[in-house]
Structure 1
């Protein structure tokens, strides 16, 4: 959290469970179209600074702003900005902060230190994906999806399959699982997994799927690997195919944070499996980010 205003969400370690429960409750009320919730959004702005590519996260934050009447100030990559002229990422953020937005939604690489930056800005920072360090709002929407379909997060068994070593989503789930009481296990090629893991690791996808109450595939980030892994071998041994998913309970969930490389991590026909909640994750992402924006602009008022 930000040391200055305690409204920033940089990670999930420092987010109290009561705050998480509150966000889920607000998301429930939004989903039910509860008219009691209101934000005086007119005249407010929210800065969406995406220094890395995004579809779901950026557009769901835009949707959240629009639904509360907050005007989104968008920056997508370097093109057309002073970053092309040599301005640093930090200078860009500091200049946008000087425009007094209600919050700063930032997606960036590991080269920008959001914890340090949070001490220098007035607006709360909402981490929309920070290098390999974390993606808090994605983990929150995933957990909200578990709660929605399985009744509770506590006691669930989430199997994360694939490129965990480079996944900010997995990093945030390790933090969130401790808060909400679900267990995380991993499965994938050795070169895709952390060198040391503090959780259960399955060498066989079949065993992992038999254990899980929810299975999440991750995008294969071949651009981050010096040695290219065979996608054919990956699909056979770790892909969410109809044949492999027969070992997953009929009551379990199939998840993916996106974007999906169809035919590698997850076959196209799996998207029509009744256990698959990939698009519901996207819908829940709007609810969770709308709840976060609501809490950010109304807290303390």
Structure 2
């Protein structure tokens, strides 16, 4: 019997490409028909394109979109900045807490330019931009700095960076720090740790250990690089409060946030939406700070209708 292509992950059905964008080597995948509207997916802190998950990517393909995914610099298969400083997470957070803003190896603006460079490589003039967590911050900056390239913005489980917003739970911070440690020699230890990180920051009632383990193995097979996450965290903290510039954003915007997010509590999402003119805010019950299969299903139920008619739905 012939294999059904849909039985394979979309990440396995489409080839990985590399381009030099913004003077950095970026890995990306281009999925779906060239003639369709493009959706650019930008992932979060220390994460790879695989963290979008098969259900969400396949759902967008099924809805008729061309899906562009990339590994941010210092993650996955994209260029690493091996020679640049990567202090421990706890040290970066302590210094930031006392007002000593880190000097990053690169900025979120640089990472936004990387993503635009991928669109340039593919000859895509405009795309729907969807960012998760740090990727949401990058997507906000991309929309502000390159408005002519953006059909719509969707900011998922992200933040404006404003001071005074609720802090992460201690368990989520501990998981973040654990994830950014240097690699142990034992592969099984690394995979087990990533499963526990997914459990700590993920969706309390929707967490799937088999899914988290399978994803951790796939990510590990592509390559895990802890120092890159530490440099990305510096870029987040150095970017600071985006509130003043978010008020200038004019694209159709959807802000999606989980009601059970322990890393960036839901008020981060509400605050982001409140500061963007005309933005629509949607909360998802049961969602934490991860895209488990059931979370992706609930997210797609909000995202796809918005992509189909962003102007109308953003202002309803």
Structure 2 length-normalised TM: 0.30
Structure 1 length-normalised TM: 0.31
